Structure formats: C-alpha cells, structure tokens
Amino acid sequence: MYLVLIQNQGQLRQNVLVLAPIEIGNIEVMNMDTAIKSMFESLRKLIYRVDAHIGNSGDAHLPATFERAGFLSAEDKGHIDMKCRYAKTLDNGTGNCLTLGMGIYISRSFINAPSGVDDSLCLVEITGAGQGLYKEIKFTWLSAGKQYNRYIYSDIDSGWLDEGWVNLTLLSGFSGYAIAKRTRCGDGFIVDIRYDVQRSTDITADTVIATLPAGYTLTQEKPIQETHLAFINNSSQLTPVGFVISGTKDLTLFRVDQVNSISRALGHTIFIR
C-alpha cells in the first residue's frame, strides 16, 4: 500500500491511498512505511520544540541561560528587581528583618526593626551570601530620613547601627550645631565629629560644648588634644582655640588666646574606637 501526496504548484492538496506505486504528472507517490516514519520524525521534532519552550515536567517555561533564550525564573526576577532597585511590597507587620531573603522590601511595622522606628513606610535592603549566614541589612526609616545598618557574620551580629549623622545636644548656652557620625571599620568604628558653635558670652577655660552619646565615646580616656579655630568677637579675624575630649565623652574647649574675647568656635576631629 502506498500514500499518494497530490500537490498543486508545490503545495499539499490531498492524500490518496493506492495499492501500487505510480507516478503521474504532479502526483508524488510515497511508500506508506516511509511516510509514517517521516510523520513520526516530524512529530518528534515538534514535541522537542514544545518541551524546550514550556518544559515537560509541569514547569511553565524553562529559565533563560547564557546559551539559551527563555523565560525568567523566580530567582532571575529577584536579581533583576534588585539591579533596578525595585522593592517588593510586603503586608504590614509580616516582614522580619532577620529572616527575609536577599532583596529589597517596603512595608510598615517590620519585625526586629531598629528601636524607636514608628509604623510609617520603611525600606529594607538585604545583601549577602551563605544562605543568610553572611549578610548586610540596610534599614531606611523614610519619614525620618534615617538609615541603620546591621552586619551578620555567622554567629556574630552587630545589632542595629546608626551610621548617619547624629545631632548632639549643645550645652553651656551654645547655639549652632555639633554632629557626630560613626562608620564601621573592621571590628571597630571611625567616629567623625564636627561643630560650629557660638554663644553671647565669652568662651572661658574648660567649656563643654556637648557630650557624646553611647557608642560614639572613646573606649578609654585618651589624650586627644587639638587646636581648632575661633573668631575674635565682632570680626572675621581668626584665633586658635584648644579642643579636648574630657574623660571619654565631653567635647571641651579651652583658651589658647588669653587676650582676645571669643564667643564662636568651629572644628573637626576623627578618632577610632
């Protein structure tokens, strides 16, 4: 038995079964066995292409690789969202800062958030490796404009660190500003202090500007004594003023110029704790 494929100008028009091989004009005669093999081969190729597109194990699509185009896997989607800085929105009160996987999240009332954070929208970014054993957590309190960092290295947990600028409470009748910032450096911190203060009365010996908060102080009393700048009253003329951290936390000015009256001083110091 033979399968006759009747074509019209190269296009398949009709299949006819005949009992003997023939060849008439534009009629192509193919052995039935050959035709079946050809159809099965075409079917096999089609199944392969379908499997390559949607998978054969219930997956929606195969993930893309460097060698093969495809649809995104969930992991790929997460990586692209992180590169584009697109945060995943979580239900309020469900996001645990310490157990969330790598990614960027936005929500309210995060579990294990830094102390004092209210229930306004906050942003959490988690990066790292080792299935959560080694990671850095950045917590941004959006409405307050404050950022906290937390570092986890196996069983070592730094706790929440405020590494932004902190306003220090001015003392002794001063106005202006005094700020401090700490930056993690190895297993310690670099503390950066800046100030520009003034008051209506003359700065005298051992005048305390402000007191450093816990976590910003010297770990032990050290002889940090420096010369900073001061303005002679009612002029733009500069004169030196002494600066010292008394004990481990008191930012203190002392007189170097014993002649001129000064009421404004400014300076900058850095130390490691």
What is the C-alpha separation between 164 and 168, in angstroms, rounded?
13
pLDDT of residue 5: 47
**Helix, strand, or coil here: 265?**
strand
What is the C-alpha separation between 102 and 123, in angstroms, rounded?
13
Strands (E), 199-261: 207-211, 225-232, 238-246, 250-255
pLDDT of residue 185: 79
Cα–Cα distances (Å) from 81 to 16, 84, 90, in that order, read: 58, 5, 15
pLDDT of residue 2: 47
pLDDT by residue, tens only, the chain of 273 residues: 444 444 444 444 444 444 445 454 554 545 666 777 778 788 888 877 777 666 555 555 666 665 666 666 667 766 776 676 778 899 999 999 999 988 899 999 999 999 999 999 999 999 987 777 889 999 999 998 888 999 998 888 888 988 788 899 999 899 999 999 988 777 788 999 999 999 888 888 788 999 999 889 988 877 678 889 888 876 788 889 999 998 889 999 988 888 888 889 999 999 988
Phi, psi at 35, each rounded to 5°? -65, -40
Residue 209 burial class via C-beta count within 10 angstroms: exposed 0-12, middle 13-18, buried 19 and up = buried
Q: Is the CB of residue 194 less than 8 Å from the CB of residue 166?
A: no
Instruction: Report which DSSP code applies to 52.
Output: H
**3-state helix/strand/coil string of 94-134:** CCECCCCCCEEEEECCCECCCCCCCCCCEEEEEEEECCCCE
pLDDT of residue 17: 46
pLDDT of residue 47: 77
**Helix, strand, or coil here: 36?**
helix
Is-above-0.85 flag for pTM?
A: no
